[in-house]
Amino acid sequence: MRTDEQRAEDALAQRWDRLLAKKASLGDELLNAYNRIFAAAEIEDDDMHLEVCIAVGDFFEKAQRLPKRQLVDSDEKRAEDALARRWDRLLAEKASVSEQLLSSYSAIFA
C-alpha cells in the first residue's frame, strides 16, 4: 500500500512535470521569481536521465526485458512498477535526452 505522503509526492511530481512541459508558455515574471528551481530542474534532468538509464539497463540485463507497469502485490512488483513509471516519463521526454546518453544506452532505447 502507498502512503498518503507517497501519493501526495507523486501528485506533486506529476504537476511539476506538466509545468515543465509548458515552461515555454510561462511568463518571464514567474520564470524569474523561481529561476533557481527551474535552473535546478535543467541540471537535474541530465542526472535523472542517466540514473533512469542505468537502472533500466541493469533491469534489462537481469530480466532480458524492459520494466512493465505492475499490479502491486509484492515489493518486487512495486519496484518494477516504479521503475516502469520512471522509464515511461523518460521516454515521454526523449527529445530532451542528450545524444550521448541516447547512444550510450541505444540497446534500451531501441
Dihedral sign, CA of 42, 13, 35, 25?
A: positive
What's the predicted TM-score (pTM) here?
A: 0.57
pLDDT tens per residue, range 79-97:
998 999 999 988 888 888 8
Q: State the CB neighbour count (10 A cutoff) for residue 107.
A: 10
Residue 11 has pLDDT above 80, yes or no: yes
pLDDT tens per residue, range 25-63:
989 898 888 888 877 776 666 677 888 888 999 999 999
Distance separating alpha carbons of residues 105 and 69, to the nearest angstrom? 21
DSSP 24: G
SS3 71: coil
pLDDT at 61: 93
72 phi-psi bin (left φ>0, alpha ψ -120 to 50, beta other): beta
